[in-house]
């Protein structure tokens, strides 16, 4: 889920701990490295992200630092290489991680929406002053995909287009990658692309960017007025992305991480909404088989690309 929402939390060393950072057997304390995909510049949001770092230090009893990843692929590669041990990722990125790491990675937490659902949508949008009103109006036009590793910004809309009998590689006039969800919105607003796709909860007031997602976040930050965009198509629902962890991390530490995130919404609502991209009911444990369908979509997309 989005540039900021692609939060990465890395446990450089894992062991049991009490209320203060513990020694790992030498002089260095245990370190928890938190990283984010993309560059955050809002001072208010940066302050809340630092509050999140401090919250984890208190809850887990570790020293917390930050780690930066440039995009979804960077997150997956860093985890597969053992550079990070815990990450909040989108559903498609988890499917990629699963393909790379097998049983070496597992999903432990996902999000419940305010209406009790556990999914979100890919929304295709155009400028409100364009002639594009429906999906058919997009034929032969340009699209800015968010990221090849994104469920809502690439994998899922392509899957649902095929289900409607549309080959995305023939339907659009030109295709490009914006380099992220916010960048995709900006590309459409600036006329660089006719349409884009991003993630949104799909519930709540569309005029406010729904209750959660990139549109919501940009509206809240004063970066977007929804009157400038028109949502023309939705695909989904998509299972909400997970927080994933390397299975090498001890079970006791996993439980502490799970409990810390389940408590976050009540502990600090502002921090929670920055971490999760808006309003939701909170983190919950991942149900068994929750990502089986998205894994199958990812495998089908890989097979389709190889066939082109």
pLDDT of residue 40: 59
- Rounded to the nearest 10 degrees, the angle between the axes of helix 91-101 and helix 72-80 is 30
Fold held by 119-239:
D-Maltodextrin-Binding Protein; domain 2 (3.40.190)
| pLDDT for residue 41 | 60
Please state the domain extents for the chain: 7-114+241-291, 119-239
CATH number of this structure's domain 7-114+241-291:
3.40.190.10
- d(C-alpha 93, C-alpha 72), whole Å: 7
- Paired with 112 in beta bridges are 282
pLDDT of residue 12: 34
**Count of alpha carbons within 13 Å of 135, Cβ hemisphere only?**
15
Mean pLDDT by 10 residues, the chain (308 residues): 40 35 40 62 75 88 73 79 82 88 93 89 97 96 92 93 94 95 96 96 93 91 95 94 86 90 93 83 92 90 75
What span, in angstroms and rounded, lies between the C-alpha atoms of 243 and 107?
6
297/299 Cα distance (integer angstroms): 5
Output DSSP code: residue 13. Answer: S
Q: Give yes or no for a contact between 144 and 188, defined as CB atoms under 8 angstroms apart.
A: yes
Q: What's the rounded Cα separation, in Å, for the pair 255 and 96?
A: 24
Q: Report the candidate in 164, 152, 138 with the shortest Cα–Cα distance to residue 238.
A: 152
Question: What pLDDT score was predicted for residue 160?
Answer: 94
State the pLDDT at residue 48.
79
Other residues' Cβ atoms within 10 Å of the Cβ of residue 207:
10
Burial of 83 (0-12, 13-18, 19+ CB in 10 A): middle
- Residue ranges of alpha helices (H) inside the chain are 43-60, 72-80, 91-101, 156-163, 168-171, 181-189, 214-220, 251-267, 269-276, 292-307
- Position 157 scores a pLDDT of 96
Residue 36 is predicted with a pLDDT of 63
* C-alpha span between 69 and 2 (Å, rounded): 12
Is the pTM higher than 0.85? The answer reads: no
Contacts 24+ apart (CB under 8 A), 63-68: 63/21, 63/29, 63/30, 63/31, 63/32, 64/31, 64/32, 64/33, 64/34, 65/31, 65/32, 65/33, 65/34, 66/33, 66/34, 66/35, 66/36, 67/8, 67/10, 67/33, 67/34, 67/35, 68/35, 68/36
117, exposed or middle or buried, with CB in 10 Å at 0-12, 13-18, 19+?
Answer: middle
Please indicate whether the domains covering 7-114+241-291 and 119-239 agree at the CATH topology level. Answer: yes
Provide the pLDDT for residue 308. Answer: 59
pLDDT score, position 39: 55
| C-alpha–C-alpha distance, residues 239 and 199, integer Å | 11
- The pLDDT of residue 185 is 97
pLDDT at 85: 80
Report helix, strand or coil for 91: helix
Residue 89 is predicted with a pLDDT of 83
**Strand, helix or coil at 234?**
strand
């Amino acid at each position: 889920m989005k540039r900021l929402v692609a939060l990465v939390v890395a446990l450089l060393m894992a062991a049991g701990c009490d209320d203060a950072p513990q020694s790992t057997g030498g002089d260095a304390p245990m370190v928890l490295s938190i990283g984010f995909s993309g560059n955050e510049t809002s001072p208010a949001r940066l302050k809340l992200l630092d509050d999140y770092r401090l919250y984890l230090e208190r809850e887990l009893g570790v020293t917390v630092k930050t780690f930066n990843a440039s995009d979804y692929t960077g997150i997956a590669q860093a985890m597969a290489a053992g550079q990070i041990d815990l990450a909040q990722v989108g559903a498609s990125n988890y499917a990629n991680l699963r393909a790379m790491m097998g049983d070496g990675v597992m999903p432990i937490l996902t999000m419940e929406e305010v209406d009790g659902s556990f999914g979100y949508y890919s929304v295709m949008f155009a400028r409100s002053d364009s002639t594009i009103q429906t999906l058919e109006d997009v034929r032969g036009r340009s699209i800015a995909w968010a990221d090849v590793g994104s469920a809502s910004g690439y994998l899922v809309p392509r899957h649902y287009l095929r289900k409607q009998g549309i080959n995305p590689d023939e339907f659009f006039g030109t295709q490009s990658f914006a380099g992220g969800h916010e960048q995709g919105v900006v590309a459409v607003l600036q006329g660089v692309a006719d349409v884009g796709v991003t993630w949104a909860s799909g519930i709540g007031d569309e005029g406010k960017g729904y209750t959660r997602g990139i549109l919501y976040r940009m509206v809240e930050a004063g970066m977007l007025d929804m009157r400038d965009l028109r949502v023309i198509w939705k695909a989904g629902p998509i299972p909400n992305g997970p927080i994933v962890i390397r299975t090498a991390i001890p079970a006791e530490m996993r439980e502490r991480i799970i409990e810390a995130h389940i408590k976050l919404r009540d502990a600090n609502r502002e921090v929670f909404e920055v971490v999760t991209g808006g309003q939701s009911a909170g983190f919950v444990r991942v149900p068994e088989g929750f990502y089986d369908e998205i894994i199958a979509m990812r495998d089908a997309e890989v097979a389709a690309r190889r066939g082109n």
